[in-house]
Amino acid sequence: MQRGQPDQFVSSVTKPDDFDAFWNRVQAELDAIPLDPEMAHVPERSTPEVDVYEIHYTSLGGLRIAGWYCVPKAEYLEAPYPGLAILPGYVSEPTLPKSWAKLGYAAVGVAPRGKLRSNAQYNPGYPGLLLDRIVDEETYGYRGFYADAIRALDFMLTRPEIDASRIGVHGGSQGGALSLVTSALRPEIVKCGALAAPYLTGFMDSAALTHSYPYEEMNEYFHTYPERRDRVREVVSYFDCLNFAPRITAPLLIYIGLADDICPPETAFNLRDTLSCDVTFHSWPGSGHEAGVYWEMAKVEAFLAGHLQPATPRNTETDLPEEF
Amino acid sequence: MMTDLAPDIARWWDRIDEELGSLEANPEFEHDALRSNGLFDVYKVRMTSLGNYVIAAWLSVPKGDGPFPAIMYAPDYMSVVTPAPYEFRARAITLSVISRGQRGADKPYAAAFPGHLTVGITDPDTYIFRGVIADAIRSWEVLCDHPKVDTERMAIIGTDLGLLVNARRPGARAMHLKSSFWYRSLEIAAGSDAYPHEELNDHLRTWPEQRDAVTRTLAHLDPIHQADRVTAKVLIYREQASRVQSDTWFTPLTSRFATEPVFLDMTHFGQTDYDAVDAWLAAELGMPAFPRTWVAQDIGAWSV
């Protein structure tokens, strides 16, 4: 495919007529499943400023989903805290968001199904997740995967130390996609989102524009099953962030690399042009999938702080009690 | 302490070599039709490593008779290992090592992230990375034995774990050292709260009485003790403003290499930096450069 200016690319994504009904059914299924949140303190990972917990909750299909919850210690910073969901990339394992907690957020590192600690009942592998039962929207792996991310917001709502009126989302690549999905499906909760190089945006166009994984999984699949291309196009349209975009009301910061070989920049421009919320959009020439993070991270911190208003931690060297 | 430890470290490495030498790798190559195409064939490889642990790898071999240049991707600190990037598979034989604990080699030991970095860390003989480095060495041996590999044109990409492979098994003409991991690892940890090195801080915060033992174990993997055995030409990302990527940081290590290293000053434009590495590796291995900015041009020439 000969490529032109990325901001001139015309998306091939269409929206299924029953897109909203499909996701309303998923939400109804989730509503019928008790969350059953659990938290276990992890002293080894905790610091004088931050308590770390391993969390679990129940999601679609009754799967127990894991995560990390990092929250400032009261001696370091008093509650309430803004909440921040840190959403994971495709191949990376969820981080412990201790650094965000140190900045004053109660932060959850989400581990949707298939990630380590959430893979006892579902483990499509990597490569694998992108294609897992991609022949039917009702069986596609991302149906549950998206639900698991949504449920992380429900977990945050159970925490008394979190101010439910100040919850944001943040992630890159797949984490960027999940930031969009959670913002779209729970607009009453998500107050802002900062995301890099959004994946799962223009699935079919992306596969045609790159040979890098994960989208290369789709090219491999079509090489083997060329007759399924049309059906797959239908299925992924239920999961495409371009179709979630119109539902998003929270302000977003989006940053991308114009030489991104993993998530083609064309699809990010399509996303930008589809959103109706307040969008700050930064594109970095010469940057790949890291999306200019070297310069962008300070902007992300400022954006999130501006919307979520974390308190300023005490000076740890002078104000902490002696036992620290 | 380093001087006192040197004989112990030398014996530790010799024992790894001896144990590997007593075990046949017995590699098995399973063709992966899904991931193969008109440019290359992909295989899932299983082989025996230290302690009879069965590890794995993704092997990709260009179509044709060869011989081809070959590149080994040394294990990174993450659970998932995928086949090498398409543009490398189109030009060279690539082997992406799946070491013990990583997905695909996670039976009986499934590594936790975080957690993997400190398993058995109080004793160099029980430390999990004794096995991991052996896995990387074993994989290099298997790659060298592949009949289509041009053994004059081989390279390693990875952290300084790849340096250790080159120190113990010469043969790589070039190496791209992406970052320090084992070199001065406790110093890296002391100046940061970022994972994975934060695992070391977590461990020492919880068990401060183990500091001497942990320091001793990590010294066994520090490439400073193997630096005078490194024969590959090494390309290193450099950033003078960084505590752990400056000349000052690297000089004690690199001054002992057999070949003067090449430093690439980072622009922090990721694809620009990546393409510079690609151009250097391509020249070293005698293959065409394949800048990733190709995606802004025409992918048809590299598609099948």
Using one digit for the tens of pLDDT, what is the confidence trace for B204-259?
999 999 999 999 999 999 999 999 999 999 999 999 999 999 999 999 999 999 99
Are B170 and B259 within 8 A, CB to CB?
A: no
What's the pTM?
0.95
**Per-residue pLDDT at B293:** 67
Q: Do B194 and A99 touch (CB under 8 A)?
A: yes
Is residue B298 domain-resident?
Answer: no
Which pLDDT does position A324 carry in this prediction? 36
What pLDDT shows up at residue A321? 40
**Predicted confidence (pLDDT) at residue A323 exceeds the cutoff of 50:** no
Return the CATH number at B254. Answer: 3.40.50.1820
- Write out pLDDT tens, residues B127-148: 999 999 999 999 999 999 999 9
Task: Calculate the CA A221 to chain-centre distance.
Answer: 25
Question: Is the pLDDT assigned to residue A322 strictly greater than 70?
Answer: no
Mutation target vs A (from B102, B271, B272, B292; most A CBs, 10 A cutoff): B271
Best mutation target, A93, A217, A255, A324, to test chain B (most B CBs within 10 A): A93
SS (H, E, C) chain A: CECCCHHHCCCCCCCCCCHHHHHHHHHHHHHCCCCCCEEEECHHHCCCCEEEEEEEEECHHHCEEEEEEEEECCCCCCCCEEEEEEECCCCCCCCCCHHHHHCCCEEEEEECCCCCCCCCCCCCCCCCHHHCCCCCCCCCHHHHHHHHHHHHHHHHHCCCCEEEEEEEEEEECHHHHHHHHHHHHCCCCEEEEEEECCCCCCHHHHHHHCCCCCCHHHHHHHHHCHHHHHHHHHHHHCCCHHHHHHHCCCCEEEEEECCCCCCCHHHHHHHHHHCCCCEEEEEECCCCCCCCHHHHHHHHHHHHHHHHCCCCCCCHHHHCCCCC
Q: Domain of B133?
A: 2-285
The pLDDT, as a whole number, for residue B292 is: 79
Q: What is the pLDDT of residues A136-171, one digit of tens each?
A: 999 999 999 999 999 999 999 999 999 999 999 999
| CATH numbers and ranges of domains, chain A | 7-308 (3.40.50.1820)
What's residue A315's pLDDT?
58
State the greatest distance between any 2 C-alpha atoms of chain A, in Å, as a whole number.
69
Model pLDDT, residue B205: 98
Residues of B in contact with A2 (CB under 8 A): 298, 300
Instruction: Look at chain B and report how many structural domains it folds into.
Output: 1
* Contacts A117 to B, Cβ<8 Å: 112
Residue A173 a catalytic site member? yes
Answer whether residue B304 is part of any domain. no
Decide if B108 is inside a domain: yes
Q: What b/e sequence results for A60-70 when a residue is b if at least 16 CB atoms lie within 10 Å of its CB, and e otherwise? A: beebebbbbbb
Comparing CA positions, the residue from A143, A140, A72 lying closest to residue A102 is: A72
Residue B27 forms part of a structural domain: yes
Q: What is the pLDDT of residues B20-69, one digit of tens each?
A: 999 999 999 999 999 999 999 999 999 999 999 999 999 999 999 999 99
Tell me the average pLDDT of chain A: 95
Asked if residue B292 belongs to a domain, the reply is: no
Question: Which of B272, B298, B302 faces A211 most closely, judged by CB atoms?
Answer: B302
B203 in Cβ contact with B214 (< 8 Å): yes
pLDDT band, very low/low/confident/very high, at B3 (cuts 50, 70, 90): low
Residue B296 has pLDDT above 50, yes or no: no
Supply the mean pLDDT for chain B: 94
For residue B296, being part of any structural domain is answered with no
Q: Is A91 on the interface with B (CB under 8 A)?
A: yes
| The pLDDT of residue B87 is above 50 | yes
Instruction: State yes or no: is A7 an active-site residue.
Output: no
Which of the four pLDDT bands, split at 50, 70 and 90, describes residue A4? confident
ipTM above 0.85, yes or no: yes
* A204-238 confidence digits (pLDDT tens): 999 999 999 999 999 999 999 999 999 999 999 99
Confidence band, pLDDT 50/70/90 cuts, at residue A292: very high
* pLDDT digits 0-9 by tens, B203-213: 999 999 999 99
pLDDT of residue B4: 81
Put simply, whether A9 touches B (Cβ < 8 Å) is no
pLDDT at A3: 77
Lowest mean pLDDT among A127-131, A172-176, B3-7, B170-174: B3-7
Q: Does a structural domain hold residue B105? A: yes
Q: Is A95 on the interface with B (CB under 8 A)?
A: yes
Q: Is the pLDDT of residue B300 over 80?
A: no
- What does the pLDDT read at residue B1? 45
Which chain A residues touch B295 with a CB distance below 8 Å? Answer: 3, 209-210, 259-261, 264
Q: Do A257 and B271 touch (CB under 8 A)?
A: yes
Task: Please report, rounded to a whole number, the percentage of residues in chain B having pLDDT higher than 70.
Answer: 95
| Residue B45 covered by a domain | yes
Please give the structure tokens belonging to residue A306. Answer: 């501006």
Nearest to B270 among A47, A102, A290 (CB): A290
